[in-house]
Amino acid sequence: MVSSLSNKKVAVVTGSSSGIGYETALMLARNGFLTYATMRNFNKSENIKSIAAKEGLPIHITQLDVTDRVSINNAVTAISAETGRIDVLVNNAGYVLEGAFEHLSMDEIKAQYETNVFGLIRTTQAVLPIMREQKSGIIVNISSVAGRLGYPGGSAYISTKFAIEGLSESMSYELEPFGIKVVIIEPGVIRTNIFDSVVVAKKSKDPNSPYTQITQKMASSFEGMMKNASSPELVANIVLEAVTNDNPNLRYLAGKDAETWLDAKRNMSDKEFYKMMKQNLM
């Protein structure tokens, strides 16, 4: 039976235990959305539960593992049964795999894609029939400025974000006739714990690796960038802006660094941009 809460717009956010997903779930709930903050691990839900209780926010914590189709289907079916609709899906779940391309094992690359790309695909495909039936909805895919440009040591992660960019752009044509919009959010460096949970390729941990100097310089560069990183609230505000706009943009950059890098890429030749990135990062 559909609950009386169905008069609110319903938002589903993946990867809500921390960082961008956490702040986005709070932002949407604070602005009137009945928000399902989903996460793989319930043990990481205490912070958002505490704030939701303190502020009286319409947040429901829901178990959803984007790598598990049964988990996704169970969550989406339960949400639809409770509310009768899903108006917003924010695909945020993901992680960073670092390591020189030569050192990445196929298992490591496949695991990266299972979460960052196939997880997004599974969740979106589960939600789309509901949105298509109600003739409305918005899919927000959290990409990255790394979905528009590459850097050393990030080939696996970056390639997942490039995949999300192309997937989202193609989907937008197919879904528009059904009243469903697609939005891509492209953050720069964001002050979250994503870098604390970076997975480093096993072979890249070898101090005798021929790529050690490059990876050490990259680590040092990112350490410096984190000092001026944008807050996850910035991204959450942009998500809110997009989902409350009747005619949202396809892409939104998030962060001055992302804007600077993309401006440089647009205005430089490939050789000029490559040289600039080498100087700044390596």
For residue 85 the two structure tokens come to 């609709």
User: Considering 22, 151, 157, 252, which one is annotated as catalytic?
Assistant: 157
Residue 28: φ, ψ to 5°: -65, -40
In the residue annotation, 252 being an active-site residue is answered as: no
Active-site residue list? 157
